[in-house]
Structure 1
Amino acid sequence: MTARDYLNLLGQQWRVIVAAGLLGVVLAGILVLFAPVKYAASVTLYISTQQTNSSSTDAYQGSLLSQDRVKSYTQLLSGYRLGQEVVTDLGLNDDPQAVADEVSASVSPNTVLLTAEVTDTSPERAEAIAGAIGRRFPALIAQLEKPANSTLPPSVTATVVQGPLLEPEAVSPRPLTDLGIGLGAGLLVGVVVAVLRRTLDRSVRTTEQLAEVFPKPLLGTLAEDRTVETVPLFLRDRPTSPIAESLRAVRANVDMLDLDRTTTVVAVTSAIEDEGKSTLLVNLALAQANAGRRVLVVEGDLRKPRAAQYLGLSEDVGLTQVLTGRASVDDVVQAGPAPRLELLASGPRPPNPCEMVESPQMSELLATLRERYDLVLVDAPPLLPVADGLALARLADGVVFTVRAGFTSGALVRRAHEMLETAGVGRVGVVLNRTKDAGDGYYAGYYYAEAERTAAPTPAPSPTPGSRQEFATVPSPSPESDTEQHDPATAGRRS
């Protein structure tokens, strides 16, 4: 991951990071609220050695000896032996080890100054224990450092030079400091979690990753838009939105796949469900109808049909009745929400959907529809869960394969590509759907969003039947207009 990838990651995962920071503040607040208030008192001792002469060598060696002893004395200050001495001195009924646990020792760097700090819930008790340490510790050192069987004085002595001193304010808890530490720790944990999630994530997120696992022409990218769940027909209800413009680019690139004008039946499918294929299909149908083509949407997903619901039409009659001979196409086809757009819904749910779409009747039906419509868009089931999707892809003249960014793993997308290759489906384009990268899908976002804010869109006059006039400001690209547009992936990026 590059620095830009990390910045994009922080922008995409800001909710996780903020939530972790708030959680850290809450936990720190709980600790502050329930932690006992503690006070601190300290006493400072000077460690020195007894010198028999005043030579510089002896003085240097004595200094080294003092510094060496100081490191060992830090353990004595918080040990059981001194704790027992303090309990005896103050006449306490406490456990000596409990008293010793309240003592912490520190050494000033490159000095022979030893500081003992006592923390306790009572300021008076903390000061008393510090005073007892100042009295008992020098005697303990003298006893330990006195030469055996000798009348000589101890080689090392400890002298109180400061204290006991009581801190005027409580040392624990410190609300502002503790809350700040909690916030910082929470934000750090949030960043780590976000990076780990991205590192361990095997889903396809970018067009580069998509090209590796599904090496087919990129028809375009559609950015994440939460309103699609409630307003699926964004080409009708939000025609000047950025996602609508991205869809028009996809429509133009679908046309670029049909350079020889032989592609009439196009199946729209995905690797697994919930990748937005039905939403893409109905909006692609609207874009093609608005461009002047006579379009039929066939609800080929007989298990979980959604196209009729998105178009606001009935799914009670349709394809299954035509295939079983109970009705003709003219009896069940429905007019769509736009001129030149019609729907052949799924009809009653059959017990054998795979057998129905693989039947000779399905092939004959598609052959008939090729003669009647400029474009037939088939909403096919996902390829991996069931066999229906691959059967419809083989019957179609072309396939639009959609991948939901950050949702489908690369392994599943690669498997779907291999299935299409094995089945001999060659004319395939891919759409990266619901991408969260701000650079994808919003090619004309600023321009069209600004136009939407400043003025309501003026509906263009309905084009005459058979014409290819697009109602938007961007006309449908012609294959002869620019040789660079012959590459669908390039055309998708230029749009």
Structure 2
Amino acid sequence: MSGQKSNIITVEDLRTVQKFLGKNWYLLLLIPLFFALVAYFYTHRLPEIYGAKTEILLKSGEEYDYQSQVYSSLAGFYSNYADITNQKRVLTSYDLVSKVLEKLDFDITFYVVGRVKTIPGTSLEPVDVDIEILNDRLYGKRIDFRILDTESYELSYEMGDENRSSIHNFDKEEISEAYRIKVNKKNGFYEEDISDLVRNHYQIEVNDINRLVSKFRSNLAIENVQYTSILAVTLENELEDRAKVFLDTLASVYIDYTIEKQIQLNDNTIQYIDLQISSVQEILDSIETEMELYMAANAILDLKREEEKYFNELVKYETSVKSLELQLEALSALEDYLERSTEEKLLPPAIYILDDDFLDKSLNALYNFQFGMDQELFDVTEDNIGIKQEEVRIDSMRTDLLTYIDNSRFAIKGRIGDISNTIAEYEYKIRSIPGSQRDLVEINRKLKVNEKMYTFLLEKRANTVIAKAAIIPQTSVIEKSRSVGLVAPDKERILLMFIGSGMILALFIAFIRLIFYERIENTRELKEATDIPIIGGIPKSAKAEETRLVVDLAPKSNIAEAFRSIRTSVQYMNPDHDVSTMLVTSLHPGEGKTFCTANIATIFSKAGKKVLVLDFDLHKPKVHQTFEMDNSVGLSTYLIGRIGWRECLMSSGIENLDVITSGPVPPNPSELVLSEKVTELMDEAKKEYDLVLIDTPPLLMISDAMVLRKHTDMGLFVMNTKMSTKQGVKYLEEIIETNKLQNSCILLNNIKQKRWHYYSNRYGYGYGYGYGYGYGYGYGEKKEKDR
């Protein structure tokens, strides 16, 4: 016993599953099948989406040594471009995608409308269409295009709530308030069968640049290839070739974009150096002119060796002062840049003349934040909390840089002051030189200082020009765009989803039926559902209309044996004394209570018991039909006092079995059962008969059965497997408990033969009789032929 309890799955569990599947197999099969058919037609109508893919290497490293040296200070700046997250944003930015689409002719899409599916294309086979939208309301709407004959065509479209249609001629420009169009016939147009073209239905859709940019951005996906600086760019589109062309153009525009930034940066640096060179050149020209005039007017002697040494030192220090003054100018340019509007996206060129790593990296970081915020503004507004936080961070960095520039300016001015003191010492030492020679020394000193500055600027300019000539893309396409085939719709996935949804729905319906509408199909299930005694079960008859009194006409049938078992069970329910009166009723009409009443009466009469059947169903009487009797007189005529009960008594034709039918249906049947004559009838009948059976109306419809129950020893409730549910059993239990009905039992009718053989331990006779009959009441229902 304990071993059986330890089993995870018991035999009862398997029976439950078998029953569940047996009752709902058609739901579990047909609903998913229906959903599969819906999925097939649904996916067939969906537009097919194709994918294309390309791969871009962010930093190839293909640069010359002198280029990397010149741009060594740009490492922090270029790190922005090497940053993968930023590059993803750049590739999907509105500006870049817009530039790509401006180079491509993607604004017009053509469609061939079929009976079930609409197929997109880049052109119409029979004609060339040149169309321009003049009314923005027509953007994104499909214009129906139909060829009428070899000379004309028709355009129709919706404008607001109005449907518009126009007929135009081929090879002629047509202008309306909504569009300008010219449709040219292609070569071979006349040779084709015009009837085929007339039957075809085409559509034209024109999109504006904003709609196209949004569409392509939403379908663009970028992934970083793991452990590399390679970006895999994919695009989904209804047209396979269009997706490939877009990706190739996107890669080209992106590479030009990175070069453009480098060239622009280089040009700004050259421009700044040219301004400085021009300024120094003017100074040199004026000094040389001054020297020529002075030497012509004065006789100059050569300087002594010691004086020459003082002169060279003085030139060196003044050159340093000039260089520091140039740095002050650069700081002023940077300060002006920081104080101007944040619309500037490139670093000022003067930064590359300063040898200050901290300033360089700080400006690079500021640029990176500005660039990132500008890219984010394509997707969000300035009121976004993230943008507000970025603005606060940029303002803080700008303030820190301005403070650093002020400190740097102060330090440089201090350095200039120190060098100026040294210059003053050397100037004092050369005062011993005669006045005319001393003036020439001053002029020559200025010339030397500016010549060194000029040489320095020329070197910077030459290096920058060389770097510009050597600029190559820092990004490269390592895999051109290629088609990856059909990516949507995923028909297999959709089919599985629909089938799964259908299965879930089928299971849901099946469980609802199991919980709320499960029918009890055998006595075992009935015993599990209630504590009310089960007196027995009646098997279903395959030929319900062939005979009604089965026990009498087919005494060796399974049904007759079932009623014999019921007779035995009735006798054992009251071992102290025999049951003399029994009430037979049911919850619903059509459950077979009259059939059971007649056959129970017959089986007891064949056992030598004298039996009387009373048809107290004064609403819809059926007993007289079962026994094929006249119903002109009966209980109704007795209860109203017209005749005595013995005058209503009729013989059934079966030995020991008498019947009192209901008689004519009275206008007040429920009041008649409350008559004292019922008590008198029962008292006298019990004296003359061994068993009195009362057939009553269904409990759920009429309360007569509860009134008559007090006159009987036993209550028999007939339940039919077609209507028996656990809710019905619970309701019956409540009735019995509320009314404290003793000696109540249930008889389960209409058990299917297969289940009957199983639950009766395969005990059967196999005589092939057709037993039972249709005993539906008709209380608002049709008569049932099959119990």
Q: Same fold (TM over 0.5)?
A: yes
Q: In the alignment, is the contact (CA less than 8 A) between 2:530 and 2:730 conserved in 1? A: no
Query: Is residue 116 of structure 1 aligned with residue 234 of structure 2?
Result: yes
Give 1:435 deviation, angstroms. Answer: 6.5
Opposite residue 266 of structure 1, the aligned amino acid is: M
Tell me the SS of whatever aligns to 1:326: coil
Opposite residue 39 of structure 2, the aligned amino acid is: A
Query: Is residue 149 of structure 1 aligned with residue 346 of structure 2?
Result: yes
How far apart, CA to CA, are the structure 2 residues paired with 1:435 and 1:115?
68
Opposite residue 406 of structure 1, the aligned amino acid is: T
Q: Of the candidates 437, 459, 479, which is equivalent to residue 161 of structure 1? A: 479
How far apart, CA to CA, are the structure 1 residues paired with 2:253 and 2:595?
86
Query: Is residue 284 of structure 1 aligned with residue 600 of structure 2?
Result: yes
Q: Of the candidates 88, 102, 105, which is equivalent to residue 88 of structure 1? A: 102
Counterpart position of 1:44: 54
Give 1:240 deviation, angstroms. Answer: 6.3
Q: In the alignment, is the contact (CA less than 8 A) between 1:245 and 1:444 conserved in 2? A: no
Residue deviations 1:335-387, cap 9 Å, x none? 44755444322111122223322222111112222233332211122345433
Tell me the SS of whatever aligns to 2:598: helix
Query: Is residue 13 of structure 1 aligned with residue 9 of structure 2?
Result: no
How far apart, CA to CA, are the structure 1 residues paired with 2:548 and 2:30?
31
Task: Work out which structure has the larger RCO, using CA pairs closer than 8 Å and 6 or more positions apart in sequence.
Answer: 1
1:229 and 1:456, CA in 2 relative to 1: closer, same or farther beyond 3 A?
A: closer
How far apart, CA to CA, are the structure 2 residues paired with 1:66 and 1:4?
65
- What is the TM-score when the length of structure 1 is the normalising length? 0.69
Counterpart position of 2:249: 135
Query: Is residue 193 of structure 1 aligned with residue 509 of structure 2?
Result: yes
Counterpart position of 2:407: none
How far apart, CA to CA, are the structure 2 residues paired with 1:14 and 1:138?
60
Give 1:301 deviation, angstroms. Answer: 1.6
Q: In the alignment, is the contact (CA less than 8 A) between 1:243 and 1:442 conserved in 2? A: no
Residue deviations 1:59-98, cap 9 Å, x none? xxx9xx877679x66x976x86676455433212233167
1:85 and 1:354, CA in 2 relative to 1: closer, same or farther beyond 3 A?
A: same
Counterpart position of 1:431: 747
Give 1:394 deviation, angstroms. Answer: 0.4
Opposite residue 114 of structure 1, the aligned amino acid is: A
Give 1:126 deviation, angstroms. Answer: 2.5
Counterpart position of 1:469: none
Residue deviations 1:267-304, cap 9 Å, x none? 01234545443333233334334444333321112123
Written as runs of structure 1 = structure 2, the 5 A alignment for 1:364-443 is 364-403=680-719, 404-406=723-725, 408-421=727-740, 425-433=741-749, 442-443=758-759
How far apart, CA to CA, are the structure 2 residues paired with 1:266 and 1:243?
20
Counterpart position of 1:100: 216
Q: In the alignment, is the contact (CA less than 8 A) between 1:42 and 1:116 conserved in 2? A: yes
Written as runs of structure 1 = structure 2, the 5 A alignment for 1:122-271 is 125-137=239-251, 139-140=253-254, 143=257, 149=346, 157=475, 159=477, 161=479, 163-165=481-483, 167=485, 172=489, 174=491, 182-200=498-516, 215-222=531-538, 235=551, 245-271=561-587
Counterpart position of 1:293: 609
Higher mean alpha-carbon deviation, 146-155 vs 4-13, is at 146-155
- What is the TM-score when the length of structure 2 is the normalising length? 0.46
Residue deviations 1:422-466, cap 9 Å, x none? xxx322222344578976785237442xx42xx5569xxxxxxxx
How far apart, CA to CA, are the structure 2 residues paired with 1:261 and 1:163?
98
Give 1:311 deviation, angstroms. Answer: 4.3
Q: In the alignment, is the contact (CA less than 8 A) between 1:214 and 1:413 conserved in 2? A: no
1:213 and 1:357, CA in 2 relative to 1: closer, same or farther beyond 3 A?
A: farther
How far apart, CA to CA, are the structure 2 residues paired with 1:220 and 1:118?
70
Q: Which 5+ residue runs of structure 2 have no aligned equivalent?
A: 1-11, 62-67, 70-74, 108-206, 263-344, 350-363, 365-470, 771-787
How far apart, CA to CA, are the structure 1 residues paired with 2:52 and 2:96?
15
Counterpart position of 1:468: none
How far apart, CA to CA, are the structure 2 residues paired with 1:446 and 1:209?
17
Counterpart position of 2:327: none
Q: In the alignment, is the contact (CA less than 8 A) between 1:16 and 1:190 conserved in 2? A: yes
Q: In the alignment, is the contact (CA less than 8 A) between 1:102 and 1:119 conserved in 2? A: no
Tell me the SS of whatever aligns to 1:253: helix
Residue deviations 1:130-170, cap 9 Å, x none? 32123215644885997952699999957352532263x79
Higher mean alpha-carbon deviation, 197-206 vs 361-370, is at 197-206
Q: In the alignment, is the contact (CA less than 8 A) between 1:106 and 1:114 conserved in 2? A: yes
Opposite residue 135 of structure 1, the aligned amino acid is: T
Give 1:199 deviation, angstroms. Answer: 3.5
Residue deviations 1:399-444, cap 9 Å, x none? 11234522743552232112330xxx32222234457897678523
1:40 and 1:288, CA in 2 relative to 1: closer, same or farther beyond 3 A?
A: farther
How large is the RMSD of aligned CA atoms in angstroms? 4.6
Give 1:184 deviation, angstroms. Answer: 4.3
Higher mean alpha-carbon deviation, 132-141 vs 430-439, is at 430-439
1:200 and 1:444, CA in 2 relative to 1: closer, same or farther beyond 3 A?
A: closer
Written as runs of structure 1 = structure 2, the 5 A alignment for 1:309-328 is 309-328=625-644
Q: In the alignment, is the contact (CA less than 8 A) between 1:302 and 1:346 conserved in 2? A: yes
Residue deviations 1:18-69, cap 9 Å, x none? 3322331342243245x1452524213245456799xxxx9xxx9xx87767
Give 1:231 deviation, angstroms. Answer: 6.9
How far apart, CA to CA, are the structure 2 residues paired with 1:82 and 1:240?
94
How far apart, CA to CA, are the structure 2 residues paired with 1:383 and 1:30?
51
Counterpart position of 2:337: none
How far apart, CA to CA, are the structure 2 residues paired with 1:316 and 1:408?
39
> Taking every aligned residue pair, what percent have the same amino acid on both sides?
22
1:399 and 1:164, CA in 2 relative to 1: closer, same or farther beyond 3 A?
A: same
Residue deviations 1:248-270, cap 9 Å, x none? 43332122223234311100123
Tell me the SS of whatever aligns to 1:296: strand
1:445 and 1:214, CA in 2 relative to 1: closer, same or farther beyond 3 A?
A: closer
How far apart, CA to CA, are the structure 1 residues paired with 2:667 and 2:39?
59
How far apart, CA to CA, are the structure 1 residues paired with 2:472 and 2:728?
75
Please state which structure has a larger fraction of its residues in helix.
Answer: 2
Opposite residue 249 of structure 2, the aligned amino acid is: R
Higher mean alpha-carbon deviation, 23-32 vs 42-51, is at 42-51
Opposite residue 149 of structure 1, the aligned amino acid is: L
Residue deviations 1:202-228, cap 9 Å, x none? 987887886698643221245677865
Larger radius of gyration: 2
Q: In the alignment, is the contact (CA less than 8 A) between 1:46 and 1:161 conserved in 2? A: yes
1:132 and 1:378, CA in 2 relative to 1: closer, same or farther beyond 3 A?
A: same
Q: In the alignment, is the contact (CA less than 8 A) between 2:91 and 2:97 conserved in 1? A: no
Q: In the alignment, is the contact (CA less than 8 A) between 2:54 and 2:234 conserved in 1? A: yes
Opposite residue 11 of structure 1, the aligned amino acid is: G
Counterpart position of 1:480: none
Higher mean alpha-carbon deviation, 328-337 vs 293-302, is at 328-337
1:209 and 1:170, CA in 2 relative to 1: closer, same or farther beyond 3 A?
A: closer
How far apart, CA to CA, are the structure 1 residues paired with 2:222 and 2:752?
53
Q: In the alignment, is the contact (CA less than 8 A) between 1:317 and 1:347 conserved in 2? A: yes
